[in-house]
């Protein structure tokens, strides 16, 4: 069996809340690290939103395995950045019993 082709440099980011001048919070993104991954697209859909339409495409991103709790292990609500493209991580699971690779089920949203 052939392993995944980890040929994309992906920046792993986590959400961070910062105080704004109005007494509330704003969300920004902080870089956790860079991982090499394989990005495979699923089938897309075009749901109608309240104000805008978003083209939604699911992706499965494969990266090297890392133990639970490691900063190199992606978790839901983080995201991958690949240049101007952003993939929001929905779920993460081991791809094999040995945990050599992780499958990150992600979504890319592109405003139309």
pLDDT higher at 30 or 57 = 30
pLDDT at position 57 is 80
How confident is the model over 46-55, as pLDDT tens digits? 555 556 656 6
Whether residue 3 is contained in a domain is answered as no
pLDDT at position 48 is 58
Whether residue 66 is contained in a domain is answered as yes
Tokens in use for 44? 């897309």
Q: Domain residues for 35?
A: 8-111
Whether residue 48 is contained in a domain is answered as yes
Question: What is the Cα 33 distance to its own chain's centre?
Answer: 13
Q: What is the CATH number of the domain that holds 90?
A: 2.40.10.270
pLDDT (average), residues 41-65: 75
Report how many domains make up the chain: 1
Tokens in use for 67? 């133990």
pLDDT at position 112 is 57
pLDDT at position 46 is 58
Whether residue 1 is contained in a domain is answered as no
């Amino acid at each position: 069996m052939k392993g995944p082709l980890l040929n994309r440099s992906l920046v792993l980011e986590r959400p961070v809340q910062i105080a704004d001048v109005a007494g509330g919070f704003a969300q920004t993104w902080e870089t956790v690290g860079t991982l090499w991954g394989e990005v495979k697209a699923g089938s897309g859909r075009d749901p109608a939103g309240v104000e805008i339409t978003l083209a939604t495409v699911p992706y499965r991103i494969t990266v090297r395995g890392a133990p639970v709790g490691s900063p190199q292990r992606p978790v839901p609500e983080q995201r991958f950045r690949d240049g101007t493209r952003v993939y929001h991580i929905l779920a993460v699971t081991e791809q094999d019993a040995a945990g050599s690779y992780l499958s990150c089920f992600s979504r890319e949203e592109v405003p139309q």
